């Protein structure tokens, strides 16, 4: 009888736990209801919202908000953006509190003149890849530089609210194509690193960028191979 009660207890706990680890993309009506003009002002959301992911995990109820700003120097009809910003808000005592945020913008100088920057929502996911009860948002965004193909791409993984980054500089020249990987990326759980490798392979196959280049880490330069992501560094 004691074994039966214990089994029932663990089944109930497991059922409750599985219910809180979930995510969804909010529709326009849901976004407008939660993030009204007044609420956006309080939360300091300045750019138009392009997507909101609501997710629940061991930290509670969260909202990942992606925003993009149109380049005011171009026509309002174009899809050119000059800045992006993302926020992660957590519900605490009935109020949304910012846990972390990121911001980036296009480069415009005499060497590189990027024309737009945007979130690659096709590849952005919020999941619990390693089954520890915490969601690991993976955010991908990139830029466009039409003249020389010197566009950028970033993959940001938020593992337990800590940012791990892969920064890629594309180029038509082999020697100018580089990828910088934070050392902390290699210390994440294997299942998360496998997901990153899969994303890199898909992005490469679609022709959105080219990973045949030099890999940069800790002042060392060597040929980049996606399989390196599966090997943790000491």
pLDDT of residue 65: 98
Residue 164 lies in a domain: yes
Residue 224, classed as helix, strand or coil, is coil
111 within some domain: yes
pLDDT tens track, the chain, 234 positions = 554 544 444 444 444 444 478 999 999 999 999 999 999 999 999 999 999 999 999 999 999 999 999 876 655 555 689 999 999 999 999 999 999 999 999 987 767 788 899 999 999 999 999 999 999 999 999 998 876 678 899 999 999 999 999 998 888 777 777 888 888 999 999 999 999 999 988 988 888 877 765 555 554 544 566 777 888 766
Helix spans in the chain (H): 2-20, 28-34, 37-43, 190-205
pLDDT at 67: 98
- Its domain, for residue 221, covers 18-230
60: Cβ–Cβ under 8 A, 6 or more apart, which residues? 90, 91, 92
How far apart are alpha carbons 200 and 177 in whole angstroms? 15
Whole-model pTM: value is 0.83
**CA 63 to centroid of chain Cα atoms:** 13
- Compute the distance between CA of residue 103 and CA of residue 53 in angstroms, rounded to an integer: 18
Q: In the structure encoding, which two tokens stand for residue 67, read together?
A: 């925003």
The reported pLDDT for the residue numbered 171 is 80
pLDDT of residue 31: 98
Give domain status of residue 46, yes or no.
yes
Q: Is residue 226 part of a domain?
A: yes
Does residue 59 belong to any structural domain of this protein? yes
Domain presence at residue 13: no
Task: Give the per-residue pLDDT at 226.
Answer: 73
> In this structure, what are the phi and psi dihedrals at residue 85, rounded to the nearest 5 degrees?
-155, 140
Judge contact between 228 and 215, C-beta under 8 A.
yes
* Domain tally, the chain: 1
Q: How far apart are CA 187 and CA 229, in angstroms?
A: 10
Domain membership of residue 4 (yes or no) is no
What b/e string do you get for 89-125 counting C-beta neighbours within 10 Å, with b at 16 or more?
Answer: bbeeeeebeebeebebebeeeeebebbbbbbbeebbb
Query: Which two tokens mark 59?
Result: 């930290």
**How far apart are the C-alpha atoms of 159 and 119, rounded to whole Å?**
19
| pLDDT at residue 3, rounded to an integer | 46
Instruction: Tell me whether residue 97 is in a domain.
Output: yes
């Amino acid at each position: 009888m004691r074994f039966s009660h214990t089994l029932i207890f663990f089944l109930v706990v497991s059922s409750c736990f599985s219910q809180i680890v979930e995510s969804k993309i909010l529709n326009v009506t849901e976004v407008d209801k939660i993030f009204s003009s007044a609420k956006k002002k309080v939360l300091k959301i300045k750019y138009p919202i392009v997507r909101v992911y609501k997710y629940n995990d061991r930290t509670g109820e969260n909202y990942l908000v992606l925003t993009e700003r149109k380049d005011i120097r171009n026509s309002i009809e174009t899809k050119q953006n000059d800045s992006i910003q993302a926020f992660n808000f957590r519900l605490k005592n009935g109020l949304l509190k910012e846990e972390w945020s990121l911001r980036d913008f296009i480069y415009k100088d005499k060497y590189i003149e990027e024309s737009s920057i945007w979130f690659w929502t096709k590849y952005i996911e919020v999941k619990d890849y390693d089954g520890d009860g915490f969601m690991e948002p993976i955010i991908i965004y990139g830029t466009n530089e039409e003249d020389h193909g010197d566009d950028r791409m970033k993959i940001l993984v938020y593992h337990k609210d800590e940012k791990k980054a892969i920064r890629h500089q594309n180029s038509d020249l082999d020697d100018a194509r580089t990828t910088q990987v934070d050392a902390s990326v290699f210390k994440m759980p294997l299942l998360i690193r496998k997901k990153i490798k899969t994303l890199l392979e898909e992005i490469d196959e679609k022709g959105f960028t080219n990973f045949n280049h030099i890999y940069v880490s800790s002042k060392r330069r060597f040929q980049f191979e996606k399989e390196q992501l599966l090997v943790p560094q000491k």
